[in-house]
A and B are shown apart, each in its own frame.
Chain A
């Protein structure tokens, strides 16, 4: 156990926060969810200043000169492909007087002209034109006024990440064992072809962004937070998908794996047995009966594989700080303020399957955003309200700590535990603490 230390009565000045006093082995201080100055520092350090953050999926940038507007923390960023198709990311912030250049969500453009005074930049960031150039003195050097570039942009299996840290490890090294789980998710699609669709559930909640990350690796909450969904699913008899979270999950085969750098995964697959089992256990989607009959009639022995592809991956993969790969969706955590967050659920289709398989994927991907996630987010908002009490200082994350027999080290060195262990939080807060403490006086 960490030795107890009293916090200073007055919040320390920004940049001098003693983060080690806020994150203990078994608990974390409420202020990391409520304090503006901590949030401001997170938006610099955790969201790109030190390490990688998820920016976009390559299918959202389908051709040379494609672009897409995103956020990197609070920074407006444009992810682009140049004319050869190579990926870049630049701040969506004119180097003249700071206006955003690009106000479209996506499209294709070789260059961006600022709507304010007409400066023009190549999609790789170089300044190429300033209207009426004679008005700039002899010391003005266009090459010094390109757009601020995201120092490094790298993609792994279609997932595009960026960092402002020149000396960060490669994305694949930073992902570590998480890369293998992304492989599983991508390789479910024939030929690995995953397409992010334009329609997304963009859900906002009035709470800190980390509440979403806490929850993404939490196998403890479903039996309670999702009672409405489990109850609804049993309307017609037998319990369906996720019911196993309610039947003492600690005795079941489901595990959570710690993947380093704050990443983790819950593997729900051991709750299923064999081809067709994902499909059989899914809550019923519109058109299910006609679809199953058609697929079985037309695809014979291959039908179970196709049916299962309409259902989620049964892994909950959390890539710190902002990427959650859950079901068939790519979720992105987008902080908007210390107590306001957007959680975007990007729906996906896949290549190499009959079109009705993708239609059924859409119907499946509507289920949880409608009847599951709203109850989670209602709880996030109530956590944020609870955190308003300053005298109750700590948020616990001690389930599983020092419990004999829970944590195991696999042959690959990966630590795993039962899915209700709060190890996910303890591990990612260790990564968070390291990032937040770097470059500050301690």
Chain B
């Protein structure tokens, strides 16, 4: 966090002081970086990235949303853009632009048992491939790019959502944490039904 967050706003599941102009500028920089050509990564880095993604995918697919939430940093963003190529979130809406507080809201909302769009709840299972990884030269954070297909069954209907993920991970004393998860849906700017599942 580039600017000092006042102590009373330190708990980012309740407050969002840190999502400021610099936050948006950094997001634009890393979003562009996620679209660049990267050098080949070593086998160890690829395997590490793959196992991180597989574990995260499993937490979502089995509905362990509280555990999934714990994978994110305090200054995280879970971002599902509408515009193909991600666009400019300062003047465009997204399907999800969740800072820590809103992501906590989302998980809370899913677990109220009152969201009719999730009664019955989505069952999902996702495949992730084409994993690439590199390091952000500015922040030293780990960047991962992957292709996904999410299969969803809800209310007797099976749907398929293809796209690609961009992850920015930060190393903590407790392993990798997600600073940014960008979900680029192939059909993000087209008609879609009930996007309340978690990507």
Contacts and interface: CB of A to CB of B under 8 A. Distances in A.
A286 interface: yes
Interface centre among A205, A225, A377, A378 (most CB of B within 10 A): A378
Interface stretch (A59-67, A92-100, A194-202): A194-202
A371 B89 contact: no
B82 interface: yes
B117 A286 contact: no
B93 A225 contact: no
Given A375-B116, A375-B117, A290 B20 contact: yes
B93 A365 contact: yes
Given A199-B82, A365-B93, A366-B96, A356 B21 contact: yes
Interface string A194-231: 00011111111110000000000000000001011101
A298 interface: no
B61 interface: no
A231 B109 CA distance: 8
A342 B190 CA distance: 10
Given A198-B83, A287-B20, A363 B91 contact: no
Contact of A231 (B83, B87, B92, B114): B114
A440 interface: no
B112 A227 contact: yes
Interface string A10-49: 0000000000000000000000000000000000000000
A342 B17 contact: no
B130 interface: no
A225 B98 CA distance: 23
B28 to A, nearest CB: 12
A359 B24 CA distance: 10
Interface residues of B, number: 48
Q: Interface size bucket, A side?
A: 35 or more
B195 interface: yes
B19 interface: yes
Contacts of A374: 115, 117, 194-196
Contacts of A284: 16, 101-102
A189 B191 CA distance: 29
A437 interface: no
B14 to A, nearest CB: 6
Contacts, number: 138
A349 interface: yes
Contact of A235 (B19, B82, B105): B105
Given A287-B99, A290-B16, A358-B91, A377 B117 contact: yes
A289 B112 contact: no
Contacts of A370: 95-96, 106, 196
Contacts of B93: 197, 199-201, 347, 362, 365-366, 369
Nearest to A341: B191
B191 A199 contact: no
A231 B98 CA distance: 18
A232 interface: yes
A201 B82 contact: yes
Interface in B1-48: 9, 14-21, 23-24
A223 to B, nearest CB: 12
A236 interface: yes
A362 B92 CA distance: 6
Contacts of B89: 359, 362
A50 to B, nearest CB: 27
A347 B92 contact: yes
Contacts of A231: 109, 112, 114
B117 A201 contact: no
Given A228-B114, A375-B116, 10 more contacts: A199-B82, A203-B191, A225-B116, A232-B109, A285-B102, A287-B20, A289-B17, A362-B94, A366-B96, A374-B115
Closest 3 CB pairs of A and B: A287-B19, A374-B117, A228-B115
6 contacts: A198-B92, A204-B192, A206-B193, A291-B20, A365-B93, A366-B94
